[in-house]
Structure 1
Amino acid sequence: MLTIHRTEREFDHLGEFFDLIGPERTRRLHDAAAEIARRLDGGTLWHVNSTAAGGGVAEMLHILLPLYRSLGVRAGWLVVGGDGRFFEVTKRLGTALYGSPGDGGPLGPAEQTAYLDVLSANAGETRELLGRRDILLLHDHQTAGLVEILGGEVSAVYWRCHVGVDEEGPASDAAWDFLAPFLSGARGLVFSVPWHVPRRLGDHRVEIVPPFVSPFSAKNRVLDEGDVRTCLAHCGLSAPTAGPPARGPLRALRHPVRLVAEGTPNPGEPSLVQVSRWDRLKDMDGVLAAFAAHVEKGYLTLAGPDPLGIQDDVEQGVWFDRCLAAWRELPPATRRRVGLLCLPMADLEENALLVNALQRSADVVVQKSLAEGFGLTVTEAMWKSRVVVASAVGGIREQITHGENGLLVADPADLSGFGTLLARVAAGEVDTGGMGARARLKVLRDFLPDREVIGTARLLDDR
């Protein structure tokens, strides 16, 4: 059930990364790595989560583990497994942590038993793996029960929460009623933004460490205009490109893309893109409604993973179907200016390259979340110097200062306000060049991998 995710390679482009962050930050990065190694004293820093692919946590760990290896820190990655009942409970927990009742099911003693039984089985497989000097850094609600179960096996256990709600309510209270008792033995807790720390955990040691993106990953690396056009053609959003076969990373483009559209973008017209899960909290149908009602010029692409390729999250199919029904109800002229794009999930590098190209091709990147943990899709777009129009929720508020490096609508349910912002950018009323440049500088300063290592060193420092 428990698996070790192997990351034997070292961090690609290490020298380029040092050049990017400069000598002072490079020195601080090396000092932080040395501090983590000192604290481990020959042990291993184990990151533990519930998936090796898909989602922001897995994407970060694919970057972080090779970086640790390159910096001389012993680190590993464990992935807990579970049965259908376990993931039903954790899905309910995750939805509740965002303040939504989700399926309305209970989080009572029976659910706690199902949750702990699976984590206990996972823990039983670590007995010969973990050493007394090791440190565990557990990620999210799927792993919180391991604080208590494995606390006596290692030097220290820390727990990190990547999700949260801006205002506590009945649903989030129920989730914390379930989780908080498991956290009493944690040496420290980590949250992405300070306002996601629930009041009941105020007496714990808490560090704020925002997530990060890698400039060199498939989702964020530089793509030239020809590469972007090739990716868009693969998605059906532009005419096929002439020339030699795809080279380099573009050779990964081999799985079909599902595009629902009656028209494609016209050359020179504004391009608006939201890339998200098909999820209620990402509000793709709200973006569609705001665009249809308020944006008279431009083409909107709503892109997400193909629900047919996601067997463990049937709700994505439900919300895609809802968007599809709303698209079909649009007037024909408006319908021709909207495409619903389902990206293949069989090859994660291919998926990441397509996301990269979609964001780089956009004049406006949209993120109209109803709730958000941090919002790495916003970070990724800002790194590409895109203007992001987003809801002022969760970690998006930590990233975007309205009018400086992006645009925010205070109330994500305000379709008129959101549509008006989109229309302003599409009509050329915003200095997209200056705003996009400031967005990239924000990511360079605050949301690259060295900040993660420095934050972890601060967390582990018990002196």
Structure 2
Amino acid sequence: MRERTKAMLTEQATANTADREALESLIGPERAARLREAADSIKERLGAGGTLWHVNSTGAGGGVAEMLHTVIPLYRSLGVPARWAVIGGDDRFFSITKRLYGALYGSIGDGGPLGDAERTDYLANLTTVADAFRELLGPDDIVILHDFQTTGLIDLLGKDVAAMYWRCHVGVDEQTEASTLGWDFLTPLLDHADGLIFSVDWHVPPRLRERPVTILPPFVAPFIPKNRDLAPDVIATALARSGLSTGPAPTEPTTVDLGGRPVHLNHAATVVSVGPPEPGQPIAAQISRWDRLKDMHGVLAAFTTFVPEGYLALVGPDPASIPDDIEQGVWFQRCVTDWQALPPDLRARVALICLPMADLSENAVLVNAIQRAATTVTQKSLVEGFGLTVAEAMLKSRVVVASAVGGIRAQITHGDTGLLVTDPTDLATFGSLVTTALADTPENHTMGVRARRHILDNFLPDREVVTTAQMITT
């Protein structure tokens, strides 16, 4: 049971200079100069005593926290005073915000109401948060709030700071009855925001299109354990721990050095399979939450029905490590049941893998290695906010087969930087595209190279800083 908590402030260490230098080397001198100019603009806007705050509801796990772990140190390395606050709440608060999560993705979620009583309880929790947070804020501060857990802080804290912006990382391509209810709940709380931020323009609901809106997609952090280059021996060790290589899995802890950052591989994955892929057998992998909207069971059905060759790895977190999200266990068990019902020859071509979550750096290395071992990476989401796992795989020059939903459409141009299925429920077309992507052809190699270039050009951390500077100085 969560207790009602005051705001927690997570102070991250100053950026590793090597990462800043590596980023500037990766983006080139012109973009590096624009990055520094943007930082100078932010510092000028903040004045002598201001701080740029980011606020969300978790310090670890999920794309938002992952980005903040990168961008806060980057800001500091550029001389921008930047801090990160993580808000807390009670069970009632998180029950309401989970309902909002489902609604904004177009789903009824648990079917519970989002009315006046829920808004009262939601704001009561955030009033407690605001009382604690107010002691940390100054009149020249600029605050960027992330997602529906924080929206009520706009009115509660707006008069205490220079500006408040709200960023939404979720959405639907077409509004539904459920999403309309979600926006009915949130829209009155946005009236006094200085600006709104969405990942893609088609996720801005019609009622907010007249507000000041900035389009800012998430970014890929190229030097974190999930994305940085891995030595062949590290990949081999990680695959052995994940049940994707022949031979016994290591029984002793292994420490790998990622550019001076040791990561300990201490925990084995939970693997449901007949055995690993055969040497040289092409691998299709989807790495997602065990979540209805990620449609892992749909990938399993499409692969075993319409993909004649290759091996499928469905990879997600260990549901036992996420006790407050029982749905992950339900949907993982759905995949296990479907796998068990397969004929033996098909069952031997599929692995269901639950990665350990005790150490997030360890988890990230395992994900990285699996993406690099895969011939193709899939993301057959039914709906999607942005789908940063797509960009991560594209950065590794993988041909991604994905649904043409949400922010995935901003990342992949079909046939150029990846392959898209228009209807996520069309299993035959999805299977055909996976079959194409598994083939060892010059066309697929070239597509993977273009995919990496597209991510490097459009979805790195410098875009976050440059766009933020433009937003707060306009």
TM-score for the superposition, normalised by structure 2: 0.95
1:30 to 33, 36, 41: 36
Pair 1:308-2:308 in alignment: no
1:40 to 46, 49, 62: 46
The Cα of 1:244 is off from its aligned counterpart by 12
Pair 1:14-2:20 in alignment: yes
Moved over 3 A (4+): 240-247, 427-430
The Cα of 1:429 is off from its aligned counterpart by 5.8
Cα distance in structure 2, aligned partners of 1:22 and 1:220: 19
Cα distance in structure 2, aligned partners of 1:180 and 1:421: 40
Paired residue for 2:256?
247
1:363-412 residue CA offsets vs partner (Å, 9 max, x unmatched): 01000000000010000000000010000000000000000010000000
Secondary structure of 1:311's aligned partner: coil
1:199 to 190, 197, 206: 206
Secondary structure of 2:170's aligned partner: coil
1:98-247 equivalence runs, <5 A: 98-238=105-245, 239-240=247-248, 246-247=255-256
The worse-fitting range, judged by mean Cα deviation, of 378-387 and 233-242 is: 233-242
Cα distance in structure 2, aligned partners of 1:179 and 1:241: 49
1:241-291 residue CA offsets vs partner (Å, 9 max, x unmatched): 899964325751102210111121001111110000010100000000000
1:115-158 residue CA offsets vs partner (Å, 9 max, x unmatched): 11111100010222100001110000010111111111111100
2:147, 2:168 within 8 Å by CA — same for their partners in 1? yes
Secondary structure of 1:390's aligned partner: strand
1:171-191 residue CA offsets vs partner (Å, 9 max, x unmatched): 110000000000000000000
Cα distance in structure 1, aligned partners of 2:361 and 2:397: 22
1:78-123 residue CA offsets vs partner (Å, 9 max, x unmatched): 0010111111110110111011111111101111111111111000
Structure 2 stretches lacking a partner, 5+ long: none
Secondary structure of 1:46's aligned partner: strand
Identity of aligned residues (%): 59
One-letter code aligned to 1:248 = D
One-letter code aligned to 2:222 = P
Paired residue for 1:372?
384
CA 1:113–1:406: 2 relative to 1, 3 Å? same
1:357 to 331, 349, 369: 369
Secondary structure of 2:430's aligned partner: helix
1:297, 1:427 within 8 Å by CA — same for their partners in 2? no
One-letter code aligned to 1:295 = V
CA 1:430–1:421: 2 relative to 1, 3 Å? farther
Paired residue for 2:330?
318
Paired residue for 1:83?
90
1:391, 1:412 within 8 Å by CA — same for their partners in 2? yes
1:86, 1:114 within 8 Å by CA — same for their partners in 2? yes
CA 1:338–1:232: 2 relative to 1, 3 Å? same
What is the number of equivalent residue pairs in this alignment? 462
Paired residue for 2:353?
341
CA 1:365–1:184: 2 relative to 1, 3 Å? same
Cα distance in structure 1, aligned partners of 2:253 and 2:180: 57
One-letter code aligned to 2:117 = A
2:276 to 261, 264, 267: 264
CA 1:354–1:126: 2 relative to 1, 3 Å? same
Paired residue for 1:279?
291
TM-score for the superposition, normalised by structure 1: 0.98
Secondary structure of 2:53's aligned partner: strand
Paired residue for 2:8?
3
Secondary structure of 2:312's aligned partner: strand
One-letter code aligned to 1:127 = R
1:274-317 residue CA offsets vs partner (Å, 9 max, x unmatched): 00001010000000000000111111000001000002211111
Cα distance in structure 1, aligned partners of 2:256 and 2:10: 29
What's the C-alpha RMSD, in Å, of the aligned pairs?
1.5
